[in-house]
Structure 1
Amino acid sequence: MKKLKIYNDSDQLAREAARILFSHLKTAANRRGKATIVLAGGSTPRGCYGELAPMLKRSQGVLKRCFWFLGDERWVAEDNPESNENMIRKALWEPAGVQGENIFCWQSGSGEPVEKALAYERILERFFRQTPAQKQLLRPDLVILGLGEDGHTASLFPDGRAIDSRGNKQPVAVDLHGLTAAIYVDRFSLYRLSMTAGFLASAVNIFFIISGSNKKKVLKRVLGREPELPASWLNLKQTSFLVTAETV
């Protein structure tokens, strides 16, 4: 499909993005027996999830073969209104009737962020590695991403710092080691949990879903692949941008 698809407004974007995602999920499920999707938080993807839920509910054969992951999470409890898991559960999983065993979340908000990041990495390792001897992980079928005005995507902030198991901090970078990271964002004085750019980039298809005139400048920079913006690291050959007209 085209690299950049432009829709009249947020409603049309939500409908068409849901249709595209459902088509990809159905194709993957029919081809391999299962479909894997990494979801984003945010208000624009939420509209898409609301449209996707009834499509999946009507297609139980597809729904039962879909497996759901979160690209990132805020450091809050799962029932907090700011939680990505909470939003996605209400917008998509509950209305569609997704079974709990098909959902893989971060378990954020208690304990240590680094420990929770490593725990989620182990979940990904187990799921995407078919055998212990397999060196390369299977690729997620779909990754959904949003875009912040500062060029962040998932919780990969341009001024964020990744924390290792010893508490050492290093700048968020395209080549962060591993599949997940605990991220500290100084200007917000808060922690986030995020998949790394390396794991997100391994997906078969990546879709940015973006709306709002406030994203116009940063979208132009990401389309130009400005390397200081984390979202640019995911502007790859398998990436498509689904946006509203006011965003371009």
Structure 2
Amino acid sequence: MSRPVPIVVEPNALAPKAAEWIAEALRQGLAGGGRASIALSGGKTTGPIYRALAGMDLPWERVDFYFADERCVPPDHPDSNYLLAEQTLLRSVKAKPEQVFRMEGERQDREGAAKDYEARLPPVLDVVVLGMGEDGHTASLFPGTAAVEERERRVLAVVGPKPPPWRLTLTLPVLNGARKVLFVVAGAGKQEALKRVRSGENLPSARVTNAVWMLDRAAAGQ
């Protein structure tokens, strides 16, 4: 993050501005007349963004929806990233089942679920939406874990520090290989992690090198 200058907006403008950025990135992916792919993240910040995005004029029938990570819970569980996306975006744009590639976090065979999701991913994602935790993690790539160093696998089953512990996550090769990546960060609680990323500390979020960062003023601080 020390390379590009972040986009800083007022808190009430974050959702519409992020939605506009995502919509434009999808339009670029769709420009050739084919399909575009987007990987969604969970978290408190993304719900308003997805609601705003659902109102954008796009050929949604040509967009395929993937996920940056998922908690190992059923898809109707309150902690499910899929459920958040379904309630705020997928239902509104009338996404068909064949457009939605859900991580099957509820499976007991988590390793099998990760490998199956690898097989379903496109070679390159057009758009990835990411957030950042107060510890500098992104997706379910947490500081100091082996998953951050993964170079071959595209999807891993990992254990995180917060409940529910088991997660499925995309790895850095997938995130850094995407055509467009947007970090969206909100709230004063993220200021310290942002300082650490900007200073060049080796946090997972800092390892995503091709991203645009959009912050609200509370996160950006001074």
Say whether residues 1:66 and 2:60 are aligned partners.
no
* TM-score calculated relative to the size of structure 1: 0.83
- Alignment match of 1:80 (pick from 77, 87, 111): 77
Does structure 2 conserve the Cα–Cα contact (< 8 Å) formed by 1:158 and 1:172?
Answer: no
- Alignment match of 1:117 (pick from 109, 114, 117): 114
Q: Take 1:152 and 1:78, find their aligned partners in 2: how far apart are those partners?
A: 23
Task: Specify the alignment match of 1:163 in structure 2.
Answer: none
Q: Which one-letter code corresponds to 1:230 in the other structure? A: P
Task: Specify the alignment match of 2:130 in structure 1.
Answer: 145
Task: Specify the alignment match of 1:105 in structure 2.
Answer: 102
Q: Which one-letter code corresponds to 2:170 in the other structure? A: M
Q: Which one-letter code corresponds to 2:42 in the other structure? A: G
* TM-score calculated relative to the size of structure 2: 0.92
Task: Specify the alignment match of 2:192 in structure 1.
Answer: 217
Task: Specify the alignment match of 1:20 in structure 2.
Answer: 21
Q: Take 1:219 and 1:7, find their aligned partners in 2: how far apart are those partners?
A: 15
Q: How many residues align?
A: 217
Deviations 1:5-26 (A, max 9, x none): 00111x3000011011111111
Task: Specify the alignment match of 1:241 in structure 2.
Answer: 213
Q: Which one-letter code corresponds to 1:150 in the other structure? A: D
Q: Which one-letter code corresponds to 1:243 in the other structure? A: L
- Unpaired segments ≥5 residues, structure 2: none
Does structure 2 conserve the Cα–Cα contact (< 8 Å) formed by 1:38 and 1:144?
Answer: yes
Higher-Rg structure is: 1
Task: Specify the alignment match of 1:166 in structure 2.
Answer: none
Where do 4+ consecutive residues of structure 1 move more than 3 Å? Answer: 186-189
- Unpaired segments ≥5 residues, structure 1: 129-136, 161-170
Aligned ranges 1:47-62 → 2 under 5 Å: 47-55=48-56, 58-59=57-58, 62=59
Q: Take 2:49 and 2:103, find their aligned partners in 1: how far apart are those partners?
A: 22
Identity %: 29
Deviations 1:75-100 (A, max 9, x none): 10000010000000100000121121
